[in-house]
Amino acid sequence: MHLIIFGAPGVGKGTQAKIISKILMLKHISTGDILREEIKKNSEVGLKAKSYTEKGELVPDDIMGEMVKHAISSPEAANGFILDGYPRSVNQVNILNKILNELGISDIQIITLDADEEVLVERLTSRRQCSNCQSIVNLKSIEGENVCPVCGKENTLVKRKDDEEYVIRNRFQVYKETTKPVLDEYKNEYPILKITATKSIEEVTEDILQKISKQN
């Protein structure tokens, strides 16, 4: 089974990808994770990527494509994968299509997690990070604003810069301009499973699994 998961910032695609990968015994391929992994291993492609990240530059699409290909063709992905955070542009779609053709993979299913932008903005702007244990919490899910529910420390919950509303709005705009056209590329190629992501984590997981089972 081979899945690609899409969704706007804060919609929970990383969380769902991790859960689904464990339930279905698929390799969870997150571009952020594999980038850090290849750099840590000092692999050939990791060293290429490092030369860009050290300068604060985006890693070029062709290098990211190499890393994705390594992950997809690894023994851990023999049972399939769920691809999270890639592709994010039409150019990356073309690169991934070439990789999948080379590896003979055609049974792709697309999962899209949908939620109203205002709901997601409210969710993200309510996030706080504990300066002591680094846990991420949402103010709406805890009793007090000044106590971390994980480590119990007081006055440690701070708002990250990337959770400021203007930053979040900009991320949504980037998503609309670059990632949504990707779905247009796929809509006539693969099944697209649309999931409402405003439910609880458990309910969203169940909806995903039910729709996947109907396709298989």
CA distance readout (Å), 116 to 11, 88, 197: 9, 20, 9
pLDDT of the residue at 210: 95
3-class DSSP state of 170: helix
Q: Is residue 216 over pLDDT 80? A: no
Distance CA 94, CA 99 (A): 9
Q: Is residue 160 over pLDDT 90? A: no
Strands (E), 15-135: 27-30, 81-84, 108-114, 127-130
Confidence band of 8 (pLDDT split at 50, 70, 90) = confident
Question: Among the CATH numbers 3.40.50.300, 3.90.79.10, 3.40.50.1580, 3.40.50.720, which is that of 2-129+170-215?
Answer: 3.40.50.300
Distance CA 52, CA 38 (A): 13
pLDDT digits 0-9 by tens, 118-135 = 988 988 899 899 999 988
Taking the domains of the chain in order of start, what are their residue ranges? 2-129+170-215
Its pTM stands at: 0.83
pLDDT of the residue at 62: 93
Residues identified as active-site = 13, 88, 127, 160, 171
pLDDT of the residue at 24: 96
Question: Which of the residue ranges 124-133, 150-159, 176-185 would you say has the lowest mean pLDDT?
Answer: 176-185
Higher pLDDT, 54 or 98: 98
